[in-house]
Amino acid sequence: MGPNLRGIFGRRAATVQGFNYSNAMKRSKIIWNASEIDAFIANPRAKVPGNSMAYVGMKNEAQRAQVVSYLKSLK
C-alpha cells in the first residue's frame, strides 16, 4: 500500500507524512509532474533505482496516460 496520491502534482516525492518511504525515494528529489509520473509508472526501478516499491511497471503508453490524467484530477 502506498501513500495517498491526492494532490500529487507539484509535490516533492517522499513527503506524505506517516508513510515509510525507501531511502532511494527520499533521495530522488523528484517533483511530480506528468512526465515524472509517466516515467515512474512505466518503470519504477529504472526511475528510482533502489526503490522498494513492489510494482514492475506499466508498459502500455495509453494506459499510463489515463493514470496520469486521473491523478491530475485528484485535488
C-alpha dihedral, 19 to 74 to 25 to 21, nearest 10°: 10
What confidence score (pLDDT) does residue 67 get? Answer: 98
What is the spatial distance between Cα 53 and Cα 59, in angstroms, rounded to a whole number? 17
Task: Tell which CATH classification among 2.60.120.10, 1.10.3720.10, 1.10.760.10, 3.40.718.10 matches the domain 1-75.
Answer: 1.10.760.10
CB neighbour burial string for 24-45, b if at least 16 within 10 angstroms, e if fewer: bbeebebebeeebbbbbbeebe
What is the pLDDT at residue 18?
93
* Residue-wise pLDDT tens digits, 11-69: 999 999 999 999 999 999 999 999 999 999 999 999 999 998 888 899 999 999 999 99
Phi, psi of 12 (to 5 degrees): -75, 140
